[in-house]
Amino acid sequence: MNQKTTLVLLALAVITIFALVCVLLAGRGGDGGEPGQAPHCPSVSPSAQPWTHPGQSQLFADLSREELTAVTSFLTQQLGPGLVDAAQARPSDNCIFSVELHLPPKAAALAHLDRGSPPPAREALAIIFFGGQPQPNVSELVVGPLPRPSYLRDVTVERYGGPLPYHRRPVLLREYLDIDRLIFDRELPQAAGLLHHCCFYQRQGQNLVTMTTAPRGLQSGDRATWFGLYYNISGAGFFLHPVGLELLVDHKALDPARWTIQKVFFQGRYYESLAQLEDQFEAGLVNVVLVPDNGTGGSWSLKPQGPPGPLPPLQFYPQGPRFGVQGSRVTSSLWTFSFGLGAFSGPRIFDIRFQGERLAYEISLQEALAVYGGNSPSALRSRYTDGGFGLGHFSSTLTRGVDCPYGATYVDWHLLLESHTPKTIHDAICIFEQNQGLPLRRHHSNFYSHYFGGLAETVLVVRSVSTMLNYDYVWDMVFHPNGAIEVQLHATGYISSAFLFGAARRYGNRVGEHTLGTVHTHSAHFKVDLDVGGLENWVWAEDMTYAPMAVPWSPEHQVQRLQVTRKLLETEEQASFPLGGTRPRYVYLASNHSNKWGHPRGYGVQVLSFAGEPLPQNSSLERAFSWGRTWWPG
Ligand SMILES: [Cu+2]
């Protein structure tokens, strides 16, 4: 045995011994985990710990798989045998669309957290599609108490002022599959000659895929969607390969056999049907652009274009992580908070405390909006409110070392959507601390005395990613060591695109031979419920202004003197500012406590964004996201 082998074996032995020590240490404690549960070694990348103290508050924890199952079983029992699994449900069926945590009322939650009252009942919110009722509708039911439900309460009327019309329901995966069947089996064969000519059409269009758009119509009550057709490029974004065919499918009827194609768009012109398009093509009346199918070798592919270079810099914890994750609660030396994911509304944090003092009750994403323009029907009226698709629903597994630092703590998330059985998105949320690479503060003195003082800035981050078809939103909640909390949105993934023709350049940029990257905006709506120094807060606006004055020691000269302006904003109207408009440089939420110099203790609100108004107010859709008109602290 040569020396090298010995060393390797020794190293292996040391690792084995270390692993054993970990197992022994983990197994020795009274609450060292249930039998069969893998022990956690601190030297390995940290992982979230399950709840260990039964008394610990889990008011804001998303539902576990067991709780989701208990709610579906209870609903199946209560709603009768007519309930169909949403994965198979037709529009005329009754099905459970979703189940998620029903957030506790704030007053009851605070009574528990701050005054030791018993915790409010843990409840679930279920959305049910009643397609099989004489008046098809969507209902919202609160189910509780968990983990063993015994009651349900219909909250639809209380929340929406009346029953929810059935046409407002989101499209189920099953409905998309049935629409695809209509397009590929019944409709496309009617234009086989043209499609063969332009787009390498194979039997039943196996080389093509459809892409949905929203909203689904021009007025309330419509359920008609423009679907674009794209080359089915496996392993790379098909979104960049439109063939120029778009179909308006009316899928409002409860019987899919009665769905129809209302309009056809092909490479710049509109037709009544695919049969009419084919007739005109055969008569030589259609100017067909042949769209090459470019395979997967393009620059838009995610495959590496060259050999990997040297490894990039990495983040690591020299002495292990400085924060802990127990269930949904994160604790560091400065911060404590609970985190979760709303199935529709996305990432959220609650009961956020800095050095033990609550700064905010809730900071949560509510909605993400993307508005497009273009000269093809699907592009020109696309307005996606992603909350309806589900910002939590479409969370994706985070990849270590790419989506989050390798050593981050990764947490699974459980959901029940469009199915009778819960699903788990592994590693859906990550928590990590990182060095910002900038000093939080520093000073180097060279005058009179010589000294240096400085502090590296490290931040604690909670991250999740929502993949909304072609684009990916990276959501960060960032906790700074000076008490600042930041929410950040980074958009990545693929752009959406349309077939390039005519005055396309007015609506975006050309990104391919026949592809227009369409003009669009992204806006996100956050709820920020700050409770600085208690529940009562006031909004102050501070700014700076110049006022002219005669120079006191030389009155014949004038000086523009800088001074502070302070204004209490007394109404919500006063405290709301149009997006993109002017606003005071400093707006802060003040408590009725003052610091020792008499200044109200407060928390500044800063909006760092160039998002303008999402839609003009005279648009018929604008009321759906009226949050985009103004922002207001409070
Ligand atoms: Cu974008």
Other C-beta atoms lying within 10 Å of the C-beta of residue 279: 17
Three-class secondary structure of residue 47 per DSSP: strand
The Å distance, Cα 472 to ligand 1 centre, comes to 9
Is residue 439 within 8 Å of residue 455, measured between CB atoms?
yes
**CA–CA–CA angle 46, 48, 49 (5° rounding):** 115
Rounded to whole angstroms, how far apart are CA atoms 125 and 96? 11
Per the prediction, the chain carries an average pLDDT of 88
The Å distance, Cα 224 to ligand 1 centre, comes to 24
Give the chain's count of helices (H) and strands (E). 9, 31
**Model confidence pLDDT, tens digit, residues 325-339:** 999 999 999 999 999
The Å distance, Cα 188 to ligand 1 centre, comes to 30
What does the pLDDT average to over 464-484?
A: 96
Q: Verify whether residue 471 is a known catalytic residue.
A: yes
User: Which pLDDT score is estimated for 50?
Assistant: 56
The Å distance, Cα 471 to ligand 1 centre, comes to 7
User: What letters, b where the CB count within 10 A reaches 16 and e where it falls short, cover 168-198?
Assistant: ebbbbebbeebbeebbbeebbebbbebbeeb
What does the pLDDT average to over 584-588?
A: 90
What does the pLDDT average to over 260-273?
A: 98
What does the pLDDT average to over 119-127?
A: 97
The Å distance, Cα 491 to ligand 1 centre, comes to 7
Say yes or no to pLDDT of 5 above 60.
no
Other C-beta atoms lying within 10 Å of the C-beta of residue 438: 8
**Strand ranges inside 287-380, DSSP E:** 323-326, 329-332, 335-342, 346-354, 357-372
Phi, psi of 168 (to 5 degrees): -85, -5
What is the Cα Rg of the chain in Å? 29
What does the pLDDT average to over 280-300?
A: 84
What does the pLDDT average to over 3-23?
A: 33
Is residue 618 within 8 Å of residue 569, measured between CB atoms?
no
> Which whole-number Å values give the CA distances from 90 to 83, 129, 252, 317, in the listed order?
11, 10, 12, 52
| Residue tagged active-site, from 62, 178, 386, 531 | 386
User: Which pLDDT score is estimated for 71?
Assistant: 98
Is residue 242 within 8 Å of residue 497, measured between CB atoms?
yes
User: Which pLDDT score is estimated for 3?
Assistant: 39
Say yes or no to pLDDT of 184 above 50.
yes
**Model confidence pLDDT, tens digit, residues 45-78:** 555 665 544 445 689 999 999 999 999 999 999 9
Which residue has tokens 């227009």? 516
**Model confidence pLDDT, tens digit, residues 529-580:** 999 888 888 899 999 999 999 999 999 999 999 999 999 998 888 888 887 7
**Strand ranges inside 404-537, DSSP E:** 409-417, 423-445, 451-468, 471-479, 485-493, 497-499, 508-512, 515-518, 520-530
Say yes or no to pLDDT of 31 above 50.
no
| % the chain with pLDDT above 70 | 89
Q: Please report the DSSP string for 548-589 in residue order.
A: EEE-TTSTTSEEEEEEEEEEEE-STTTT-EETTS---SEEEE
The Å distance, Cα 490 to ligand 1 centre, comes to 10
The Å distance, Cα 396 to ligand 1 centre, comes to 18
What does the pLDDT average to over 413-441?
A: 96
Say yes or no to pLDDT of 35 above 70.
no
Q: Please report the DSSP string for 221-267 in residue order.
A: T--EEEEEEEE--TTS-GGG-EEEEEEEEE--SSSGGG-EEEEEEET
Q: Please report the DSSP string for 516-556 in residue order.
A: EEE-EEEEEEEEEEE-TTSS--EEEEEEEEEEEEE-TTSTT
Three-class secondary structure of residue 188 per DSSP: helix
What share of residues in the chain are helix, strand, coil (percent, to 5)? 20, 40, 40
Token pair, residue 571, equals 């109404």
Long-range residue pairs from 48-53, CB within 8 A, at least 24 positions apart, any chain? 48/325, 48/326, 48/327, 48/409, 48/410, 48/411, 48/431, 49/324, 49/325, 49/326, 49/327, 50/326, 50/327, 51/326, 51/327, 52/326
Q: Verify whether residue 361 is a known catalytic residue.
A: no
**Model confidence pLDDT, tens digit, residues 210-265:** 999 999 999 999 999 999 999 998 888 899 999 999 999 999 999 999 999 999 99
| % the chain with pLDDT above 90 | 73
The Å distance, Cα 382 to ligand 1 centre, comes to 12
The Å distance, Cα 493 to ligand 1 centre, comes to 8
Between 95-109, 368-382, 546-560, 563-577, the lowest mean confidence (pLDDT) is in 563-577
The Å distance, Cα 623 to ligand 1 centre, comes to 22
Comparing C-alpha atoms, which of 424, 405, 398 is closest to residue 413? Answer: 424
User: Which pLDDT score is estimated for 34?
Assistant: 36
Comparing C-alpha atoms, which of 223, 227, 71 is closest to residue 141? Answer: 71
User: Which pLDDT score is estimated for 575?
Assistant: 85
User: Which pLDDT score is estimated for 51?
Assistant: 52
| Residue tagged active-site, from 166, 384, 410, 471 | 471
The Å distance, Cα 496 to ligand 1 centre, comes to 7
Token pair, residue 302, equals 């995610």
User: Which pLDDT score is estimated for 38?
Assistant: 41
